[in-house]
Structure 1
C-alpha cells in the first residue's frame, strides 16, 4: 500500500497505522462482512470450498482497487464447520502462503483460471468463489466459467463478484463506454474522477458496456441453473460505519491503485485529462472520509445441476 501523502488523509499516527495495516479487511468492511451470497447451507459438514484468484496475503493492484483478500478463506472458515476443506488458487505463486503456514484443511495451487483444475479437484466443490478477476480474462470468460463449473459437484454453487461501472446492457448510445452505473448522483468529484480513470482502463482492455452483467448469459450457457444477479452497494469512508478504523480500511488502498491506474493509462496511450488525475489520491481519500461514497458490485450466483 502506498504511503504517499498519507498525512493529507489522516488525522493521527493511529489513523495512519490503519492505512498501512497488513491485516487488510477493506473488502469485508465495504460489504459489511457478507461472504456468502449463494444459498449455501453453512451448517453442512464436510464441504469443499474453492477460492479462485485468492491472492492470499497480497494486495491486488491490477486495474481494480487492491482490496486485501488475505483473510477471505479464513473468514469463511469462521462461518463453516471445522470439517470444511478449502482450496485457494492464484496465478502468482508468490502470493500464496508457505506450506508450513498452511492449516491441514487448506490447500493452495498456483495456476490461472483458464487452466482446468487438477483431476482430483474436478466435480468436488460445494462453492466456487471468485472476486474481482474477470477483467483479466477479457474474451475468454466462457472458458474461465466452464473451468469453474467443472470443479463443482452436482448442486454446487458458483459465486462471482465484480465491480459494476458500466451502464447495464448497453445503455444510451450517446454515453461513453465508461459511464458510471448509477450516473454518479450525489458523488464527490474525486469519486467520479476515480471511476472515470478506472473504467477508462476497463474500456481500453476490451470490457463491454454492461460488465459484468454479461456474465449472467455465460453462466447459463455453461449449464448453471437458478442464475441470479444482485447489485450490492459497497460504501466507503464515512458511509461504511461510525468506526474510524473501518472507514480508513475502506479507503486506504485507493492511493496505490490510482498510481497504478495512471501508469497503466500511460502504457496504453490513454489521454486522461489532468483535471481527473491531479492530486486524485489525496482528494479521494479526504472526500470519502468527510462525505462518504459508494461503489457497486454485481454478485452473480448459479447452481450446477
Structure 2
C-alpha cells in the first residue's frame, strides 16, 4: 500500500457531533463551478469529485448524488450493492455464473498467450463500482476489451452476492485489454486515478467495504514499477489532501469474471436509475476532460 499527503484541495470537510455520532459533510466543486454539499451519513450513493493528478487537474467524478426520489438510487450506504444487484438481475433473466475454476484458468491461459502473440497487455484495476470503470475504459482509444470481474480474494469462483457480503476478500475490478502501441500502461493508470478517489480507504462514495477498495493488480514487474512510480509522482506533487491508499499487488492469476449481466452494463442499460444519475454524468465529464484519448465514433 502506498500513501502520501498533499496540499491541493478540491473539497472541504466539516463535522459536528450529533447524538453521539460525528456528522461529516463534504463540500466540493463540480465541473460547472457550482458547490456541491453531500452528507456521508445519509446521502444517496454517489462517487464524488476529488483532486485530480497534474494530467487532468479536475477528476471526471462519478456523477452527482442521486436525488432522493430517483428510482433505483439506494437510500443508505448499505443499500448500494443490493440495489445494483437487483437492477442487474431485473434487466436479465437469471444470473449466469462465471465458469468453473479449471475452465476459467484454461481460458485465461489461452487469453494471455493470444495477447502475447498480438502484443497486447492487460491492466487489472479496482476503483469502486466496476460498472463505472468499465464504461470509462470502453471509451478509451487503444483499449480493445474490458471485462468486469473479481480479484484479490481467497474464494474460488465467487458470485456477486458473495463479494457484496465482504467475506471473500475480492475487489470489484475491470480487466482492461489494450494495445501498447496506441496507449501506454501509464496512460491507463492516469485515467484510472483521474476517475476515482484513491484516498478513500475501502470505499468509493457510499459504496463501503473492502470490495470497493482502490487497488492495482499487476501482471509483471514492469507494471508494478510503473504503478509505484506514478503514485510517488502524485505524492511528490502534493495533489491530494489525504494520503493515497491505492494498493499495488501482483494478480497471480487470482481473477474471476463477473456474471454475464454485469458485462457492458451501462451500454445495455443507460436509462436504469443508477446508470442515468451516476454513470452518465461521470462519463460525460470524462469525455470532456479526456477528449484526446477517446475512440472515434463507431470504433
Q: TM-score, normalised by structure 1?
A: 0.28
Structure with the bigger RCO (C-alpha within 8 Å, sep 6+) is 2
Alignment TM-score, normalising by the size of structure 2: 0.28
